[in-house]
Chains A and B, each alone.
Chain A
């Protein structure tokens, strides 16, 4: 009866578990939207074909998708790492916005630094800003017991409006466009590969490496272990002599830093200046990205690629089919709902599987058989 428990089988099983949920959720999302599209008079097949074409069907589409993957992967990472410590950081949007603004402003100063020093410094400056913006929420949580969902959510709006004020006033380029001056070319990330007008920079692979690094940290290091246990039961971790407050504070700051980094990379790699409201909700999408794979950092690349693909397909739906790009928001909502209920669904599926498997041969008895 025992299933093989070697390392290979174990990792295969884990991979199967990790993959099944986001893919099943994706299937649900596309199915629901096909029905909606069908009811509004478009053939579902056209809808699926255009969605595929817009996300992966051409070089340009791939470049667009990979470009959008970076911020999604990093905000997903931000949500995951906070969640690991037992916090829900839904303030990534604000942290990302201010991180981007900081990187754009510093880059526009045209500091006399060599390129290989300047770019990492700008990226880091954005990360620090994000961490700084996360700090008050953490402080309020630990000192006053204010729930972080409330504080991080509300700080988003403070951040977005603060950025708007700054970019229309002191930090703007003087036009009434709500943007900062363009950054010098030596501060921008160059494309490694180009397709048409779009290019892929070093940002997506860097984000991927970062996520894999966090996965390694979580599963292999002492610090990662302590963080995981703290998130699972703070009281028990405290009794085991772990300084839970300090640990949670660090992880929360790190979470803010990842969101800030998402913002600064977006400026350095894509926009090359800060526009008011440049983020189409990457911070909030990070929540979907994270929970689609049960907040496992090692699988964030998958969920962020899926979401980025949908994001880059939306304008093609409008152009080719006349379907509102908001349909993508519907898919995303179904994705999140499916992801949120995946634990329950998996339980049901497993029970069903057990039942069907046991039926034909009758129950098999474990070796026991001692008569009373």
Chain B
């Protein structure tokens, strides 16, 4: 480990030999670390390296098996997050912990121990939080229902909740995974201002560009061990990426943002015959906190990867759900190879080869408390290979499950164990294994890279491209423009439920896409409209 950079300051938070074990797996092993006031420490590592465990130990959700944690020089033992909060540690979770039916104000004050009075004292609290909001430059509707706000605003609620309890140390677990670029910028500006106030920030992220933009030091976890901490000015992205996986099979370390030329498309020319998927004037009501789709017409050709971008909540979820048959459709028609399937059931669509990877598999695709094999089998239980009459062929199913999981390099102990025993990244790998199983023809992928580390993402992109060259088509939803630019053949951008524009990758640029994302007029408007045709 590097010597202290600010030797004059005592560490606000220090860990001494902290270990945590789950069964035979060391999630954290002998971690010693000092964090100083006003410092931003980013913790990076592959999926399952132990980042979330470490944060949960600090936040009192888990208790270390051995080792000590000191806050402001005092040894602490948190058995509950409440105690961590009292010690000035706040956390912003990757999966936001919000009461969707309560107001923003209620969400922020819920569980607050600031006053011992039994009354909520609504007006007083509203004033406190109003001034807190204006201090930090947040513009939240305090009386609005939290569940109706877009993701970025709900995240602000969680940040404010921590600040309202005067958290001096703020832990953020993958705060940017569901944010659009300008929202990320806003968040980072805000975190920067917290730092100047002397607050300490612990950040988990998979995106090295963001880590380098914000952090003072980077700590690398590998298989539960802290490999070291490095001041940002002394290391390069390549070095960090390399150390994260030093001994893995990946050949050369790569930066997290693949530039557009990293994945050369074998052929830009595709079959321009019958489109595999055709949407004709599709119109959907708003669905699941999403704007809904207005008058959308587009085609996806066989073997084409159509990237769909846009700011969160601009119709992406409605579009994915409508094609998969889960969300409602108010007008318009859907065709698969010229055959209409607007009214087909979900089962019929699965039969046709339309499969979807949802943005939130534990809630929408899986039953986390059931075993791995039961979860992977979901939707495949009626395939002839998996049953004999009405009976399940367990041995065959277990073999198939293991095969699927190994193919996607998910780390698991036993296919009979519940899905919930897997780490976040491995759960996503299981979800990929589930979505890609069988013989899909159209894959709807919503944020498929979520929770995956850099290398798993790269493998995923490679797999998508290999499948597309075999004729599988993709609707690829992502909030990450770089990812869209590196993977897609064409990119469509949704703005308020309408198609803001569609462009082939060759002609696409970050500037153009981000203008579309925010509904800004493009400078060469005439030119664009001609590009909006089906294909060049």
Contact = CB atoms under 8 A, between A and B. Distances in A.
A363 B21 contact: yes
Contacts of A347: none
A7 to B, nearest CB: 10
Given A5-B414, A222-B390, A239 B24 contact: no
A221 B366 contact: no
Contacts of A372: 222, 225, 227-228, 243, 246
B110 interface: no
B428 interface: no
A372 B21 CA distance: 20
Contact of A2 (B24, B358, B364, B367): B24
A2 B413 CA distance: 10
Interface string A236-250: 111111110000000
A129 interface: no
A239 B358 contact: yes
A229 interface: yes
A221 B227 contact: no
A238 B367 contact: no
A195 interface: no
A228 B246 contact: no
B266 interface: no
Contacts of B349: 241
B96 interface: no
A241 B350 contact: yes
Contact of B366 (A5, A226, A236): A236
Listed residue (A228, A241, A368) with the most chain B CB atoms within 10 angstroms of its CB? A241
B370 A241 contact: no
A239 B326 CA distance: 7
A223 interface: yes
A240 B222 contact: no
B353 interface: no
Interface in B339-357: 345-351, 356
A4 B461 CA distance: 38
Contacts of A1: 24
A243 to B, nearest CB: 8
B61 to A, nearest CB: 15
Interface in A1-40: 1-2, 5, 10
B407 to A, nearest CB: 20
B26 interface: yes
B378 interface: yes
A344 interface: no
A368 B49 CA distance: 13
Interface string B138-170: 000000000000000000000000000000000
A368 B247 CA distance: 12
B280 interface: no
Contact of B326 (A222, A223, A238, A365): A238
Contact of A225 (B227, B364, B392): B392
Given A222-B387, A229-B374, A370-B247, A239 B364 contact: yes
A143 interface: no
A222 B378 contact: no
B317 to A, nearest CB: 13
Q: Which of A1, A5, A366 has the most CB of B within 10 A?
A: A366
Nearest to B324: A239
Given A221-B391, A241-B345, A366 B24 contact: yes
A237 B25 CA distance: 31
B500 to A, nearest CB: 28
B176 to A, nearest CB: 27
Given A221-B392, A372-B228, A235 B379 contact: no
Contacts of B524: none
B378 A229 contact: yes
A228 B366 contact: no
B367 A223 contact: no
Interface string A329-372: 00000000000000000000000000000000001011010101
Given A220-B391, A239-B365, A241-B345, A366 B222 contact: no
A235 B324 CA distance: 13
Given A225-B381, A228-B374, A236 B390 contact: no
Contact of B390 (A223, A228, A237, A239): A223
A232 interface: yes
Contacts of A221: 390-392
A242 B223 CA distance: 39
Interface in B459-495: none
A191 to B, nearest CB: 36
A58 interface: no
Contacts of B390: 221-223
Given A235-B363, A363-B21, A240 B392 contact: no
Contacts of A365: 26
B72 interface: no
B324 A228 contact: no
A220 B24 contact: no
B26 A366 contact: yes
A229 B367 contact: yes
B384 to A, nearest CB: 11
Contacts of A185: none
Contacts of B377: 225
A324 interface: no
Interface in B226-253: 227-228, 243, 246-247
A238 B367 CA distance: 12
A236 B21 CA distance: 31
B356 A239 contact: yes
B366 A233 contact: yes
B463 to A, nearest CB: 22
B382 interface: yes
Nearest to A363: B21
A226 B381 contact: yes
Nearest to B321: A239
Nearest to A231: B367
B509 to A, nearest CB: 36
B331 interface: no
Given A233-B366, A236-B366, A241-B350, A220 B392 contact: yes
B75 interface: no
A227 B368 CA distance: 16
Contacts of B225: 372
A372 B49 CA distance: 14
B132 to A, nearest CB: 36
Most chain B beta carbons < 10 A, residue from A5, A229, A236: A236
A366 B25 contact: yes
Ranked nearest first, the 5 interchain pairs of A and B with the lowest CB-CB distance are A241-B347, A232-B367, A240-B379, A233-B367, A240-B378
Given A232-B370, A236-B365, A240-B379, 18 more contacts: A222-B387, A226-B381, A229-B367, A233-B363, A233-B366, A233-B368, A236-B363, A236-B378, A237-B367, A238-B326, A239-B324, A239-B365, A239-B379, A240-B346, A241-B347, A366-B25, A366-B26, A372-B227
27 contacts: A2-B24, A5-B414, A220-B391, A220-B392, A222-B387, A225-B381, A225-B392, A226-B381, A229-B367, A229-B370, A232-B369, A232-B370, A233-B366, A235-B363, A236-B365, A236-B366, A238-B326, A239-B379, A240-B365, A240-B378, A241-B350, A243-B347, A368-B26, A370-B223, A372-B222, A372-B227, A372-B246
